[in-house]
Amino acid sequence: MSPQFVQYLLTGLTVGAIYALVALGFSIIFNASHVINFAQGEFVMIGGMATVSLVAVGLPYLLAIPLAIATAALVGLALEKFAVEPARDASVVTLIIITIGASMFLRGLAMLVWDKNLHALKPITGDKPIAIAGATILPQSVWVLGVTLAIVVALSWFFGRTLLGKAMLATSHNRLAAQLVGINVRMVLFLSFGLSAALGAIAGILIAPITTTSYDVGVMLGLKGFAAAILGGLGSGIGAVIGGLVLGIVETMSAGYLSSAYKDAIAFVIILVVLFFLPSGLFGKRGGERV
């Protein structure tokens, strides 16, 4: 492996890990409600911006980060309560418009509460590059990869071992049946928004030291996260992670070996090709449609 290739791979993994976290957020909400939450990117923004403003008033990271995640989770819960819940019987397109409206609302609000400027966060542990096989990686990227891994492990434990997680999973498989066995489906829906908002916020905090953050940082990350979730197969946790990583690696490899101007276009072409052959993404549920 040439050092160049290693560099592209490391970069791709870091970028992909962030996409994966955003994609997981999409998947969790989709599982609970069959809603695609286009405001997912705004949770990323809220995580980053809230941390910036909390650090600015003098809080240490140890306090600022949990508070920022909690803020995002609260916004997620409020979004479910006041925008999604009242329209839960509406059509898919209507719900898409509602979440798009919510993302604009949150972005506009962030612009007022904070500002329009870009902000940087200090890396959690310094910014001296670490050399690996001729390539370099920032300590913050190691954090990104490590935390993403930890979250994936924690989520699989949560969905596989805890009662609440199992209830959420059951709801995603069959809502009616879940209701019949006594699962509070509405509560599951409510909590799924909080959980995925928290995930988004973590992504936003992790990436802010690498990329800077601002009120509109969520637009692009939301879009890429959605693409990753679709590529992996909606509703599949492992799909979201693989989708994110693949998307990140494809982008950086395209930028490195083909054309940096067309790297995003190349990524989307690949997604389209995958969908033509696997219409439900890499790990999506297959199955017939009900008549």
Cβ proximity to another protein, 167 vs 203, nearer residue: 203
- Smallest gap from residue 260 Cβ to another protein (A): 5
CB of 181 to another protein, least distance (A): 27
**Least distance (Å) from another protein to the CB of residue 10?**
8
Cα angle: 112, vertex 118, 119; to 5 degrees: 100
Instruction: Give dist(CA 190, CA 32) in Å, integer.
Output: 9
Q: Residue 2 or residue 162: which is nearer to another protein going by CB?
A: 2
Q: Are 168 and 192 in contact, with CB atoms under 8 Å apart?
A: yes
Q: Is the dihedral of CA 174, 179, 183, 186 positive or negative?
A: positive
Nearer to another protein, 157 or 257 (CB): 257
In the complex, what is the shortest distance from the CB of residue 188 to another protein, in angstroms, rounded to a whole number? 20
Q: Which is nearer to another protein, 87 or 154 (CB)?
A: 87
Q: Cβ neighbours of residue 265 under 8 Å, at least 6 residues apart?
A: none
CB nearer another protein, residue 18 or residue 188: 18
Q: At what angle do helices 263-277 and 218-232 cross, to 10 degrees?
A: 30
Nearer to another protein, 15 or 178 (CB): 15
C-alpha torsion sign, points 258, 263, 269, 271? positive
Question: How near is the Cβ of 160 to another protein at its closest, in Å?
Answer: 25
Compute the least distance from the CB of residue 35 to another protein, in Å.
10
Residues 103-131: b if buried by 16+ CB within 10 A, e if exposed: beebbeebeeebeeeebebebbeeeeeee
> What angle do the packed helices 163-173 and 139-161 form, to 10 degrees?
80
